[in-house]
Amino acid sequence: MQSVRSQRRVGEARREFFEGGRVPSGQLSDTILRSWRRCRGLGLEEAAHPQVEPVPQGELRQMRERHETLWRMARAELDLLAPDAASTGSIVILTDEQGWILDAEGNPRFLDKAGRVALMPGACWSEAHVGTNAIGTAIVEGASVEVLGGEHYFVPHGILSCSSVPIFDPYGKLAGVLDISGDANVPHVHALALARMAVTHIEHRYFDAGIEDAELLRLHADPALLGTAGEGLLAFRRGRLAAANQAGLRLLGLDRGDIGHVAYDALFAESLNRLRRDGVLVDRHGQALHGRVDHAGDPSRRLAATRRAAAAPAMASQVETALFDAHLDAELERARRVLDANLPVLLQGETGSGKEMFARELHKRSARTNKPFVAINCAALPEGLIEAELFGYEEGAFTGARRTGSTGLLRQADGGVLFLDEIGDMPLSLQPRLLRVLQEREMSPLGGGKPVKLDFVLVCATHCDLGVAMHEGRFRSDLYYRIAHYVVPMPLVRDHPDRVMLVQALWSRLGQGRQLSLSTLTALAAYDWPGNMRQLVACLRTLVALHDEGDVVEASALPSYMSTLSTAPSTKPEALHASGALHDITDRAMRQALHDCAGNVSRAAKQLGVNRSTLYRRLQSRAEHGNDA
User: Which domains are delineated in the chain?
Assistant: 32-205 (3.30.450.40), 215-301 (no CATH), 305-489 (3.40.50.300), 494-624 (no CATH)
91 pLDDT above the threshold of 60: yes
- Rounded to the nearest integer, the mean pLDDT of the chain is 81
Tell me, what's the pLDDT at 620?
A: 58
Least confident of 360-364, 386-390, 573-577, 611-615: 573-577
Q: pLDDT tens digits for 113-135?
A: 878 889 999 999 999 999 999 99
In a 13 Å sphere around the CA of 144, the CA atoms on its Cβ side amount to 14
Q: What are phi and psi of 572, to 5 degrees?
A: -135, 85
End-to-end CA gap in the chain? 44
Q: pLDDT tens digits for 283-317?
A: 988 889 999 998 654 434 433 433 333 333 344 44
Tell me, what's the pLDDT at 575?
A: 39
3-state secondary structure of 19: helix
Tell me, what's the pLDDT at 589?
A: 66
Tell me, what's the pLDDT at 628?
A: 47
Structure-model confidence comparison of residues 430 and 41, the more confident one: 41
Q: How far apart are CA 521 and CA 526, in angstroms?
A: 9
Count CB-CB contacts under 10 A for residue 274. 14
Q: pLDDT tens digits for 367-420?
A: 998 888 888 777 665 555 666 667 775 554 444 444 445 667 777 888 999 999
Least confident of 36-40, 221-225, 388-392: 388-392
Tell me, what's the pLDDT at 330?
A: 85
Q: CA dist 128 to 13, 39, 135, 137, 154, Å?
A: 21, 7, 11, 9, 12
Over range 510-524, report the average pLDDT.
88
Q: According to DSSP H, which parts of 392-517 are helical?
A: 409-412, 431-440, 466-471, 477-483, 499-510
Q: pLDDT tens digits for 475-515?
A: 999 999 999 999 999 988 888 877 888 888 888 878 888 89
Q: How far apart are CA 41 and CA 44, in angstroms?
A: 8
581 pLDDT above the threshold of 60: no
What pTM was estimated for this model as a whole? 0.57
Over range 611-615, report the average pLDDT.
56
Tell me, what's the pLDDT at 629?
A: 42
Share of the chain above pLDDT 70, in %: 78
In a 13 Å sphere around the CA of 617, the CA atoms on its Cβ side amount to 8
Share of the chain above pLDDT 90, in %: 36
